[in-house]
Structure 1
Amino acid sequence: MKITIKQAAGLTLMVAILSGVVYSCKRDNNQDLVQQEQKTVSDEAKKQIASLGYNTDNIRNVEGGYVVEGDIFLTHESLNYKPNSPVLRIANDEQYRTNCLITPLPKTITVSISGLPSGYTTATDIAIARYNALGLRLKFTRVASGGQIKIQYASLGAGILGQSAGFPNCSTGNPPSPIKLNSDANALGSNPNQNYLATVIAHEIGHTIGFRHTDYFNRAYSCGSGGNEGSAGVGAVHIPGTPTGGDPNSWMLACIPNGVNRPFNANDIIALRYLYQ
């Protein structure tokens, strides 16, 4: 969503063409705001970000680090990380995962939500139900507080829906936290479309369990602009059995239009079951 799922990544780090507003994991439609924020990013930081394999267009300077590629959060410390694999450039729209996944299996991950309107809790339950309906060895359950994945309110600025914390921890096999959602954003608000918000949340959960963007190699596929997000030290491993052609309805595309519901399609289900069944 160009405000779709604007979220993502700590150091275990690592991700429509519309005539109207498109919302990308963390792309801001307000160009003046983007330009203003870019001015605060030093040339040295841009070089470090580029060295990790990330595109340096529209970098956002946020508390504790930077947001790049629309939905990837990089801490200041992570800029010193030296990837040991080259940037991948695969010109196929398939499903991709990071090098590290949730382990061991079976596992149930708890999810809590706080500081957001009640409709966000309902949407979280819908997102959780989408995963649990697949009969995976990885399951989710919502708890009142203290979840392994905490979904919480954050004021992220105009046009930004949310920000995920990244990808699975390679050492522990646990998901990162929190997922931040911006109920101030016009596309969400206090009473958003439930299925649309569930899609946003499911996408962000997808990152926390190891999924890269389906179109990570070319964000222009779903966003209308943007390039290769790179391996960025966390990998972009093709998931066998997923398509080599365009997949315009995947829940893990970098961008989706405002208000669109994207439950898991057939290829998404293949990918989820390959990793976690």
Structure 2
Amino acid sequence: MRKHTLTALFCLVAGASACIVSCKKENAPAKSTNEAGVSQTTLDQISALGFSTAEVRKVDGGYLVEGDILLSENDLTTKVNSPFLRTAKEEQYRTNNLVTGLPRVITIKVSNLGTAFVAGTDTAIARYNRLGLTISFRRITSGTANITISGFNQGPSGGFITLGSSGFPTSSGNPYNSIQMNTNAAAYGSNPNVLYVGSVIQHEIGHCIGFRHTDYFNRALSCGGTATNEGSAGVGAILIPGTPSGLSANSWMLSCSNGGNRTFNANDITALNYLY
């Protein structure tokens, strides 16, 4: 998950001449070649999976796409046959692998992070567990967890800062085993707000159990800039019964943060209950 930095927000609101260069850079269309040195072959593989190829970065373990999703080399060569799940007549949810062996308790451990991240984890866990799904979550303090939350320190880049990152479930039905949370002061400040941190962890857990960004078809909904649609990647669609006809832009799985507390909306809960 990402958020605008203050500089980017000032550009969008004030339109000051001093910000023209950085604003243009933020809203420029994606180039056919990646400035971070990612090969065109890799970009094509990422695109074939239905992900944006804008600002793809090579990181330990694979490639970071859409700001916070880690795709491994193995992910890039995996054929996706899973369906879209439609809500509000838009392709808001797309399954990849899902967690199996249900009902199931997923354990989470916070490693070497401050009290706000521990409390934020408890907040995220409580929000999921209140839904009564066939998956539930429990924080542990020792032993090996299904998901470990740890930190990294990275400042803003290109008008955005990465708040956290994670990946998708394994082909064997286990949740992705790692969530990385940014400890840089530009991400959450020197005294992080627990509800804000918890909302980001809640979002990253969503990836770990198989949810994509709800605005992947139009990332301008949460990130600003030009609307883009990454297409269907050749897979089918399922309309979830009982969802409204109007688009809701307050999902917990939007690509970019609103800078504060954000939890499940009605469509999110419908989709979670449909899958779990």
TM-score by length of 1: 0.77
Deviation at 1:112, TM superposition (A): 0.4
Q: 1 or 2, which has the higher helix percentage?
A: 2
Report the counterpart of residue 113 of structure 1 in structure 2: 110
Report the identity percentage. Answer: 53
Q: Deviations over 1:86-139 (max 9, x none)?
A: 999999446414143222221111000112111100010011000111222211
Q: Say which structure, 1 or 2, has more relative contact order (CA 8 Å, 6+ apart).
A: 1
Q: 1:103 to 1:118 in 2, by over 3 A?
A: same
- Equivalent-residue separation in structure 2 for 1:247 and 1:204 (angstroms): 20
- Do residues 205 (structure 1) and 202 (structure 2) align? no
Structure 2 unpaired stretches of 5+:
13-22
Of the candidates 34, 38, 44, which is equivalent to residue 35 of structure 2? 38
CA contact (8 A) 1:59 1:69 kept: yes
* Matched letter for residue 73 of structure 1: L
| Structure ID, larger Rg | 2
Secondary structure class of the residue paired with 2:42: helix
Aligned residue for 1:74?
A: 71
> Would you say 1:52 and 2:53 are equivalent positions?
no
The 1:103/1:152 distance shift into structure 2, 3 A limit, reads same
Asked if structure 2 preserves the Cα contact closer than 8 Å seen for 1:59 and 1:66, the reply is yes
* CA distance 1:44–1:275, change in 2 (3 Å): closer
CA distance in 1, matches of 2:211, 2:237: 9
Q: CA deviation at 1:38?
A: 2.2
- What corresponds to 1:186 in structure 2? 186
Q: Aligned to 2:118, what secondary structure does the other structure show?
A: helix
How far 1:242 sits from its partner (Å)?
2.9
Once the two structures are superposed, residues 171-198 of structure 1 have per-residue CA deviations (whole angstroms, 9 ceiling, x without a partner) of: 2x21011010111151314521111111
Q: Give the AA of the match of 1:66.
A: Y
Task: State the superposition RMSD in angstroms.
Answer: 3.5
Aligned partner of 1:161 in structure 2 is: 163
Query: Aligned residue for 2:15?
Result: none
Identify if the C-alpha distance between structure 1 residues 203 and 239 changes in structure 2 by more than 3 Å, giving closer, same or farther: farther
In structure 2, the partner of 1:9 is none
Indicate if the aligned counterparts of 2:56 and 2:65 stay in contact, CA closer than 8 A.
yes
**Contact map agreement 1:94 1:244 (CA 8 A) in 2:** no
Q: CA deviation at 1:57?
A: 1.5
- Please report how far the alpha carbon of residue 255 of structure 1 lies from its aligned counterpart in structure 2 after TM superposition: 1.8
SS in 2 for 1:256: coil
Matched, 1:175 2:175: yes
Q: Would you say how many aligned residue pairs link Structure 1 and Structure 2?
A: 253
Deviation (angstroms), 1:265: 2.1
Taking the aligned partners of 2:224 and 2:43, their CA distance within structure 1 comes to 23
2:132 corresponds to which residue? Answer: 135
TM-score, normalised on structure 2? Answer: 0.77
1:143 Cα shift? 0.2
Distance 1:42 1:262 in 2: 36
What per-residue deviation string (whole Å, max 9, x for no partner) do you get for residues 235-274 of structure 1? Answer: 875544333422121111122222x211222222222222
User: Counterpart of 1:263 in 2: which secondary structure?
Assistant: coil
CA contact (8 A) 2:67 2:162 kept: no
